[in-house]
Structure 1
């Protein structure tokens, strides 16, 4: 390919035009041209040769060269040359030097020209994709405008101008119809660099999209005076947002609603009529849940922080409103607050309280051999178990109306006797199961725990000997004991006590150290099997 001056200039002009059209650097196009010429050169002279093409960035002149590396011994005769042969061509040549042979320009045939074109197109496409990724990788979290380019089975490709974004079917609003040529707004939630090019993922269903829309409509949110603390959405149908104001003089709900609802209606219109409940956020879980269940009224709230659950009591006529159509209202309130919400009517809550009152009263009647009046008094004062009566300060019992010291002492004595009898029965059952006395002697294991060791849940085998217990890991022991389980530290102490006989007369500290090393080694080699025996 003879590069006359006019042809050289034309190549540079083509490179600049392509770079301008694709939004990339001209040098990247020139590099693509060099690779195309290089590929054609190797096709002519042999792919095994190290042939490189170089274009002068100023004149457009193309040079084709073959490179040989001075090496001893030679591993590839096409790309390497011995020091002796190298010195015949270049006396000062040393090991590692490269000798360059200038090759005559090549005349690109039809196939070679087509190949060169493909290389250039591919390189330009790769450069364009790199530019797109660099441009959009820091724009995650932004709202962008684009024009629908195609809609394939609900997956929408959107032309963003200098790139394309993909909005998958599950990220589009249900029942929203988008056609080619429609202009849409969407939220960039991820940008990835993949082999097929950068993928810009868009969404119209995410909570963050709603946050950004409100920030565009409500200046107080944009300025940071009002924060949107949480969002829960049933896309295209209903949503709840929790807002808080950092300025006591500004009502966060009113600011988001706007004059005659103008601000919230702008967001609703963008989301195809999705109804939006705006509620004040509160750091108090009970207050927050009550707000989140609006418009339903709540009469009572009971928190269970350990289980992450909250029980809400509503008037009978408010039940359907609190639950919402197909459970939508309570589901969104649960998502918004992060609590599992159980809704009861006042009638249901009253019936349950009566049932609990009756069952606890019957427990005290049976265990303490008292009449129903005393049992009811105990339940009314908040006692829920025989253990509480046996171990609370005597003053707590004396303070109950109608109780004196003699009655309190008698109740305590009966409670202790009942617990001892329960302990005796459990100990007998433990012995019948074959759980050894050595295990029973370990500090921290109660009679109820010992029975559970004798009847563990599947897939564990019965724990009857010290070796059986010592083979367990702490998490396995906790799983076996279930509701009776101790803390992790206590479980470790129990297991160490069971292993003590493995170390003979060693000092306790040394035994513990050795056991720790043994556990580590055992875990590295093979995880312990549930209920395995030594």
Structure 2
């Protein structure tokens, strides 16, 4: 039997493809067995031994020792078996050496093709495994191709996909441009999915720009974004001597501006987190002064009254400030101005008796907006209020709220 030494060959393959040598040897064994089955039949049983010390390879056909052979590819007589193993006996399974020449020239060529195909698959699996450990990290790559629904990004030995839905609206890229992105997921079918709209991308950018975050001195509590438009970042400090907002913004905005530039000009509000919901909400709403508030912890709802002049600031352009503040704090925030509050106060609602107004106030209904928010079902839970009266209260509240600048929700 000829023994082939392939140690150097396998070592070189492992090095060139950056694969584990053990995995390369497994792939080689699988390839030899695949070719053997293609050449000699699928029912043949093979084993491939690679000597770890010498690097030599030996190929064997495994057969069972029987008295009479019925299946030549699986069985061998005792007489023939003793030629390979003198101690062989009936029902033993013995290894019969096979020369590579028995495969034939075409099979040997095919072996090389299948081997490299399997190595490519192993290489891809190894790369995906390494990227699975890097999910939620930020990577840097170069744009290989721009398509209508995605951008293909060249990463380390592989390719990432940046879908249209994960791109910041209005961004423009060129082929070959360097791009940063957040690893959203690694899927064997879809590939390495990237994102520039995920809150984690913004968080990662701050971590790279603000050393105090990596050191654990400053903690990012929450992030909410309207990608490419506006974002809010709530931060806190574990060191009372360090201002978390100032550290994130940097001297003359140096740190935050780097992040803003990467996000195509997305406006970023960095606010200090607070355990006090009112303080937290006020800071989230660009620091507007809250004149009056009504908190319902069971429904995570806050109704606040602000100065008429600060109402546009609190709500923001297209409601962006109020929307992001609500998402950031986890509270539904209803904002009304001081003049609206007087108009929509339950105490000032026309058409309701003083006794009914008192009953509503005693049950937590302070304004018309409370009544609209909770609706008829909640009103019916108040003792002494039937369906007709509940409907009347709701209609009066809806009409008065509709007359103010702060429109009520559509009636359901």
Q: Normalized against structure 1, the TM-score is what?
A: 0.60
Q: Judge conservation of contact 2:144–2:152 (CA < 8 Å) in 1.
A: yes
Q: Judge conservation of contact 2:7–2:56 (CA < 8 Å) in 1.
A: no
Deviation per residue, 1:412-449 (Å, 9 max, x gap): xxxxxxx8xx79x99xxxxxxxxxxxxxxxxxxxxxxx
Number of positions where the alignment pairs a residue of Structure 1 with one of Structure 2: 369
Written as runs of structure 1 = structure 2, the 5 A alignment for 1:470-485 is none
Give distance in 2, aligned partners of 1:244 and 1:88. 80
Give distance in 2, aligned partners of 1:27 and 1:261. 52
More strand by proportion, 1 or 2?
A: 2
Q: Which residue of 1 aligns with 2:120?
A: 125
The structural deviation recorded for 1:68 is 0.8
Q: Judge conservation of contact 2:39–2:107 (CA < 8 Å) in 1.
A: no
Written as runs of structure 1 = structure 2, the 5 A alignment for 1:230-309 is 230-294=222-286, 296-309=288-301
Q: Which residue of 2 aligns with 1:67?
A: 62
Deviation per residue, 1:105-163 (Å, 9 max, x gap): 32666643453233212221232133224433332332222222333334233222244
Q: Judge conservation of contact 2:2–2:99 (CA < 8 Å) in 1.
A: no
SS at match of 2:353: helix
Q: Judge conservation of contact 1:36–1:115 (CA < 8 Å) in 2.
A: no
- Counterparts in 2 of 1:241 and 1:107: CA distance versus 1, 3 Å: same
| Residue 318, structure 1, aligned to residue 314, structure 2 | no
Written as runs of structure 1 = structure 2, the 5 A alignment for 1:115-514 is 115-192=110-187, 194=188, 199-294=191-286, 296-354=288-346, 358=350, 361-363=353-355, 383=362
Q: Which residue of 2 aligns with 1:17?
A: 12
- Counterparts in 2 of 1:384 and 1:62: CA distance versus 1, 3 Å: closer
| Residue 97, structure 1, aligned to residue 92, structure 2 | yes
Q: Judge conservation of contact 1:171–1:202 (CA < 8 Å) in 2.
A: yes
The structural deviation recorded for 1:187 is 2.0
SS at match of 1:287: helix
SS at match of 1:150: strand
Among 18, 34, 37, which residue is 1:42 paired with?
A: 37
- Counterparts in 2 of 1:150 and 1:111: CA distance versus 1, 3 Å: farther
- Counterparts in 2 of 1:384 and 1:277: CA distance versus 1, 3 Å: closer
Give distance in 2, aligned partners of 1:39 and 1:122. 12
SS at match of 2:130: helix
Give distance in 2, aligned partners of 1:3 and 1:291. 80
Give distance in 2, aligned partners of 1:70 and 1:235. 71
SS at match of 1:328: helix
Structure 1 or 2, whichever has the larger Rg, is 1
CA RMSD of aligned residues (A): 3.7
SS at match of 2:345: helix
Give distance in 1, aligned partners of 2:303 and 2:90. 82
The structural deviation recorded for 1:346 is 2.1
Give distance in 2, aligned partners of 1:354 and 1:59. 92
The structural deviation recorded for 1:90 is 5.6
The structural deviation recorded for 1:303 is 1.0
The structural deviation recorded for 1:353 is 0.7
Q: Judge conservation of contact 2:342–2:348 (CA < 8 Å) in 1.
A: no
